A and B are shown apart, each in its own frame.
Chain A
């Protein structure tokens, strides 16, 4: 039985144990084992490393961590050896990692596999920097770029993700070692609940779930609501296509979410916490469950937390895959065991939430930000970001961009910086066309608006939303009508069907988009789409229906000509909608490399090596593989 924490010195004691784990006096090999890492082969890597360490590096410690953000380069393996900087090996596999360990056994490194070296680490909570003591550096380390020099990292400012990919999520000690639970201690022992809310209000933190409502205000409503029992809920029903920020946080630093909820509970006066996490996140559930168990063992959950007399506990509820359950009222309904469908607000959950009690629901990222704010103060936090959007924002940047991954930047960075500086731009010599933010509820922002600073209000001003942090980069091969169709078909499928405008309206709008992309568009369709969109937004029961037409509206707004081209000329200029275009080879660009010829599934490409190739339009099935494989952007559309 672990000892219960009561005092600050208790925390310090644990912190010391944690530091020993984080920075042991011997070689520590850490493998990124988040879901993204596992998807790219981390299991094989960790197995290989364990075997190899047993064989040739028996005094080394092998441990695991969460996602470090640069998912494109996973699996990552960190080497921390006394006297060296932390080395981040990227794109590992079994064979390579064996090589790395073997080299390590010989005190060597393999510089070409190292993504970067980290020479210092920041403890945000305590506002300290820890430098890796350097002596006896291995050969070739000079070739390795510093962490700050890698554009993907250098332009980011990690707050929430600070420890993600660094600490072991299974270790409460390590979390405490990097400043964990100091915020809770402060909240319980030093601040009045009203003061906590005051801090959160002054920090300017807005809900990271998408709507961007003031977190402090929300807490205050719930605190003021009458009710003997109150609930705080963590909304971890992350469902936007391509978004996985919440998952990474839960897997990488679960205690930060728990601590945030505990502070929230203190402020609001809640006795019960629920984490509603989708069942498709088994690893996150595993990490959370462990974290909750550890917190209970340490007296951080349950009765009389930190000896303060405050009682609070957290349970996990698994959601079963309905996108709409991310909506507060649907989420509550789902927890209550009924169909996960939203209901009209008011009454708001703060008035009548779970089991009819006042309830505060925040997103994973919001909760994870709270400990930082309480520890470092509102002023520090509100110093980051823009006037009305404070702090940082986490995106999962995917699509036609070089560096897919999880990024955290202060509010106010431009989209261009995100896509080109951090993301590394568009692969394959193609031009960027649009950036989609906010998931299916968001909108498409055209290339012309890339210099837009990213914050809640700026995104809204161009018809999109911040959303929970999904970001899809699209190049010129994206048909914007098709994009709208994609998102609408998602929302149509995910509409619960309770209210008429959303259920019937999205379906009918999708029919129009299917017609347009199928060459059956009619004059007036665009106006009909716009009209229906506006009324559906206005009249739908919940946020899902109320935002579902956004992708349609923004694509019409910025790419109306593409729609018109589809309708009037039955032509898809991007070459996506089958039957509405023809592929041809730009003979002046084609080098005759033969890749397209090789991959064409219908033998439509002909041509001699090093001679410009040709596509037989009669044989072409418009699958687009040729264009995908062409490295010279020689496949054109007409």
Chain B
């Protein structure tokens, strides 16, 4: 070790490092230009000179090249040093007046421009620091460039001023150049080959060492061996010099890990269709034709253009943007006969976001049908048209032509009113379809599971998560193209299958974490430790973290403050624990990112150090500061100080809170005995949990009773009977028929529900830990199209029953009309019922099967045969079923004249009205939820406007209710097909098991607490509580059960007597925290 003094501060450092490195350790900043961590120091630019005032050789010396010596005494800011630095900057500014890096340095060091006015500045970009030369030689071992000429004629050049043919265009020179002076085209004979960033779809380049995508787990960089200069040329290894943790391991190899498992879930997701598959769209040669995923990145704030909408050819802002739907979908000619299910919605979403980014954007979507079949999707589609002016044109585009000069794109299409129209666009987005992910075929082979003709995983239509091999399950887009909610449901469902197999072994591998006893802080003054996070450059790049740190030191109660590159990293957690012990901290504040994502981690950390987890407080200086004030660094730093100050003020008043452990009742209540309810009940029972299944009818089965065959040909009745049989015979399932829920109470793990059942309406109380709502839906009974006035007019359900019961013989029928969207997608019921299109096609095909000569007309608005259902649509058209489109403004008209059942409809493509004399009129009526109002109010469950039950999160928690411990599935959730219902039921099982699998839960902590003396029993809290928690107890005061209180704070806010305080958010704490915003010293 060597001891030296820098600016009066002594420091002990290892031998061999330079003065610059030693200074860095002390936090002394020395400006550099020709220095680079990965390169040998040159000491050439002389910007880093320091004054050696004690040691063998005194005077100015370049700190980057001066190796520390024992007893060395250095000054980094003496007058001599500053003078020398100024001269360097002044001279370089004369050489490169336009280079921002130099201008910045000039501003920082403050030079007197006047003195140098006598000189004529040059217009160079290169400051001759030589980094490019050195990296090429030292690191890349190429030496394609070097200095030529001497003195003021010095410049960087390949040999003899020719462009180099040894240059490998690795681009290292460009990377290290501080002034952007390297133009590879002037250096190299070879074409630069930027490595396209996969995550940004190649719209920008990435380096060879990179984090594949921002959400990578673990979030660690990887080395791309196919582009890394070290692996290609045995060169570089620069990363090694930068990584202070010495984490770079070049010798690391792929490992084969063997895992023993009871079951396997395959969720390999999807890939995108090759955009060049439709050559006529010019993706490979028109710069401004992009894929939908590329456009997704263009829209992203973390994308290639930082969220500004630009087009690739000239980075200008496109205004006229077109989306071309079904590129690689619904196209049997290229072997992609299926519908990718999600493109209509993502195109709509992209159009809306583009418009939100730039109100001048005029989005146009060219489509065949719009398939907005998901929950709430049609409403979204309507908003796109009305509120965002998204134009939907029903036309498939045959080709795109680029205008060479402007790189704009021409699209010719057929307008139903105007005929062939040619329109110019600035940017065209190809809405690419989904294909199975690249490796799925080999994986399927390895796993021995079958694939369908399109290469997706083959499953049974009534067993959508079971592959051809028992024990191997599938979920997500590998099973079929699907959107996020269905994917998430299926994922949970697959988990249910998987855990069913291994449920006997549940809990065997669990190890309980040993925690130190919680230390008492009673009577202690607050000793607050503050950890401020750089979050890489997320915070540190904007907020002056060291300044915040210095500021925090001036605040009261601060016992420790430090800054970290990543406070959430494992080593920092270890450090925090040590610091807590060493400094006897009794409060901890972390100023970093969002408590939503990281508070639990830090709470756990301080708990591991023996502190109550509620003694933790967090300031969000990233999402709420550095990210939103990126361009105002100074102000952001000030704001960060205030945010931290507030957190510290609050922390000084925080108290330990204690949670209670409650036993969990391991019984489940399933409400509804249809397909979903029965499946859920069986699922839970098969995992070993008791189930009470309540059905309000006298028998199980629900809608299945009226269904006979699926579009794939499965026998529904058989399926139903087998299901009912299993339910009835399962020892853990208790079925209550004719059951009605009459009261409900309790909370997650400990519900109490009152049920009246049987002919005598006997009352019984069921205690259960979870509830699954599967109350289902039913077919809408139409009021439209003369329904009920003629027996030839019926619904699809009715038709199916009549065919099954042979009440109707299709052989007798010649003309059959089906009208779609009856009672759906209308202002009173704006949602799409999702299954009616496939029901109509199912029945049409059934009729055609029996009577191929029958004429079937399906009058539709959009055919929504998503996924593989599209094959049946194709089949129907091939079978001669006629599809006639109608608009809401021109609904078909039905009249009964004498015996004639006449349907007339305006066909927009023929632009004339067609009149059909029909033998049968089938109304494809939508699905409405069953009457669930009472249940919703008893159990305090939220519903959509259409009275379907509302899940906790449309995308990410599709089968959870907002109320913990309650789940939903089946038609009670939204219109869906049988197999989708079954998936959801399994998903609900899986979610319910996350609670039932535990023996106890922790409750309390952040809950409301009543001070009895102040309570006037005014009932305000009882009324405002959204969870029905407070009640007036025997003492005549409000009581709040800590186990059910969700800590929302509504009662505390409303209580007129201030009798209620929400723990951890007490009035005093909140007032102190907000006062800290305005005053510096409140704590």
Contacts and interface: CB of A to CB of B under 8 A. Distances in A.
A249 interface: no
Interface stretch (A43-51, A111-119, A387-395, A536-544): A536-544
A507 B152 CA distance: 7
A454 to B, nearest CB: 26
A494 B60 contact: no
Interface stretch (B44-52, B560-568, B696-704): B44-52
A498 B152 CA distance: 10
B170 to A, nearest CB: 22
B66 interface: yes
B62 interface: yes
A540 B150 contact: no
Interface in A507-521: 507-508, 511-512, 515
Interface stretch (B84-92, B231-239, B348-356, B361-369): B84-92
A345 B59 CA distance: 12
Contacts of A370: none
Contact of B46 (A492, A499, A506, A515): A499
Contact of B151 (A347, A503, A528): A503
B151 A507 contact: yes
A346 B57 contact: yes
A339 B91 CA distance: 24
A318 to B, nearest CB: 18
A505 B66 contact: no
Interface string B20-53: 0000000000000000000001111111010000
Given A346-B67, A522-B118, A497 B154 contact: yes
Taking chain A's interface residues, is the majority helix, strand, or loop, or is none over half, making it mixed? helix
A498 B150 CA distance: 9
B94 interface: yes
Contacts of B87: 501, 505, 532, 535-536, 539
A499 B44 CA distance: 4
A339 B62 CA distance: 20
B92 A500 contact: yes
Nearest to A505: B91
Given A539-B46, A541-B46, A500 B91 contact: yes
B390 to A, nearest CB: 58
B147 A497 contact: yes
Given A344-B66, A541-B46, A506 B151 contact: yes
Contact of A497 (B49, B62, B151): B151
- Most chain A beta-carbon contacts within 10 A, residue among B95, B118, B150, B153: B150
Given A503-B151, A539-B87, A498 B42 contact: yes
A496 B151 contact: yes
Contacts of B152: 492, 495, 497, 503-504, 507
Contacts of B67: 346-347
A343 B149 contact: no
A505 B84 CA distance: 11
Contacts of B149: 497
Contact of A539 (B57, B88, B118): B88
A493 interface: yes
Contacts of A481: none
B91 A504 contact: yes
Contacts of B127: 500
A152 B76 CA distance: 54
A506 B149 CA distance: 16
A538 B80 contact: yes
B118 A541 contact: no
A515 B119 CA distance: 10
B64 to A, nearest CB: 9
Interface in A66-116: none
A322 interface: yes
B66 A346 contact: yes
A535 B49 CA distance: 12
Contacts of A525: 118
Contacts of A494: 150-151
A629 B42 CA distance: 52
User: Interface range on chain A: under 10, 10 to 19, 20 to 34, or 35 or more?
Assistant: 35 or more
Interface in A301-351: 322, 339, 343-347
Interface string A466-496: 0000000000000000000000000011111
A507 B118 CA distance: 14
Contacts of A535: 83-84, 87
Given A346-B67, A499-B45, A538-B80, A508 B151 contact: no
A539 B65 contact: no
Contacts of B61: 344
B92 A343 contact: no
B91 A501 contact: yes
B220 to A, nearest CB: 37
Contact of B150 (A496, A536, A538): A496
Contacts of A497: 128, 147, 149-154
B720 to A, nearest CB: 87
A212 to B, nearest CB: 16
B146 interface: yes
Nearest to A528: B115
A508 B43 CA distance: 21
Interface string B217-252: 000000000000000000000000000000000000
Contact of B45 (A500, A505, A511, A536): A500
- Most chain A beta-carbon contacts within 10 A, residue among B84, B94, B149: B84
A538 B42 contact: no
B147 A343 contact: no
Contact of B119 (A493, A506, A511, A541): A511
Interface in A205-229: none
Contacts of A344: 41, 43, 61-62, 65-66
Nearest to A343: B43
Contact of A504 (B47, B62, B95): B95
A501 B88 contact: yes
A54 B133 CA distance: 63
Contacts of A512: 118
Contacts of B66: 344, 346
Contacts of A501: 46, 84, 87-88, 91
Contacts of A502: 151
Given A499-B44, A528-B115, A493 B57 contact: no
Nearest to A539: B84
A362 to B, nearest CB: 20
Contacts of B65: 343-344
Interface string B90-113: 011011000000000000000000
B997 to A, nearest CB: 67
Contacts of B83: 535, 538
Nearest to B89: A500
A237 B59 CA distance: 27
Contacts of A346: 56-57, 66-67
A541 B151 contact: no
A500 B46 contact: yes
A511 B119 CA distance: 8
Interface string A340-368: 00011111000000000000000000000
Interface string B590-629: 0000000000000000000000000000000000000000
10 contacts: A344-B43, A344-B61, A500-B91, A501-B84, A508-B91, A528-B115, A528-B118, A536-B87, A539-B49, A539-B60
Interface of A: 322, 339, 343-347, 492-508, 511-512, 515, 522, 525, 528, 532, 535-536, 538-541
Given A345-B57, A498-B44, 5 more contacts: A494-B151, A496-B151, A501-B84, A504-B91, A539-B46
The 4 closest A-B pairs by CB, nearest first: A497-B154, A504-B91, A344-B43, A539-B84
